[in-house]
Amino acid sequence: MNPNTENFSIAPIGYVQSPYKQKFGVPRQPGLASQTMSCIELLPEFSADCVRGLSEFDYIWVHFVFHKVLTEGWQPLVRPPKLGGKKKVGVFATRSPHRPNHLGLSLLPLVHIDTQQGVKIWVRGGDFIDGTPIIDIKPYLAFIESQAHARSGFARLDTPILTVVWHEQAQQAIHTLRLPEDFVVLIKESIRHDPRPAHQHDEPRRFVMQLAWQGSDYDVVFSVNIQAACVENVLIHTGLKLL
């Protein structure tokens, strides 16, 4: 081990503005909620020169910090949701946020770069909590990095997708609050992949997911019955605990 590189520090280059205000509800992988639009706002010291040429790429790699779990530590064995939370595998065989260095990596479609006032990078399908620190951005090179026939271990696309239905009260809330169709789709996409912790799948209870849209925060109340999820209501977030 080289003692000169044993310890080092990494500083954020920017932070994410995301509709997901809490850990609960954030997609477990990038792209699962394709309607999600996130904005990476770089710090002032990173000028437009830093992203010159980046708009010529369709996808970017985004390196970030799982900042909400920094104090929770890590374990060598974890229980992936894909395995129902019942089987343990090594932490380095998963994308769990509870890692030795709590680093995340997402491949996302690059939508738009705005350099009028600072640098803002818009991406689609992000799996970030609002305020996530970004530590690096790199262009995706399909001719080098695409491996369509690579094995994916236990992380297969065979997890049941929930059918999402809307209670009459939720439908009325959509009308009363004048929620746009894009936000309604975001709610559906965020729920259909089942954001519940694996150990709560057998509990008959209601869940609340906090989402932001166009400057307002909302509480989405839903319940799950076998393979169907029912959105019971959509409320303006007040900070009060509903459950």
Nearest to 14 by CA among 42, 38, 39: 42
Residue-range domain boundaries for the chain: 14-145, 163-236
pLDDT, position 119 = 97
Spatial distance between the Cα atoms of 69 and 213, rounded to a whole number of angstroms? 24
pLDDT of residue 65: 94
Best CATH choice for the domain 163-236 from the list 3.30.420.10, 3.30.2310.20, 3.90.25.10, 2.40.110.20: 3.30.2310.20
- The CA distances from residue 105 to 64, 125, 135, 194, in Å, are 6, 13, 10, 21
Give pLDDT, residue 150: 83
Torsion (CA) 143, 144, 150, 154 in degrees, nearest 10:
-110
| pLDDT average per 10 residues of sequence, the chain (243 residues) | 70 94 81 84 97 97 93 89 78 90 94 96 91 96 87 68 90 93 90 76 78 88 86 84 53
Residue 120: the pLDDT is 97
Structural tokens at position 143: 């001719």
What predicted TM-score, i.e. pTM, was given to this entire model? 0.82
pLDDT of residue 133: 97
Q: How far are the Cα atoms of 12, 47, 119, 185 from residue 15, in angstroms, in the given order?
A: 7, 15, 11, 25
CA dihedral (229, 231, 236, 239) positive or negative? negative
| Count of CA atoms in the C-beta half-sphere (13 A) of 172 | 5
Strand partners, 210: 219
3-class DSSP assignment, residue 196: coil
pLDDT confidence of residue 66: 93
CATH 3.90.850.10 corresponds to the domain 14-145: no
Distance of CA 98 to the CA centre of its chain: 15
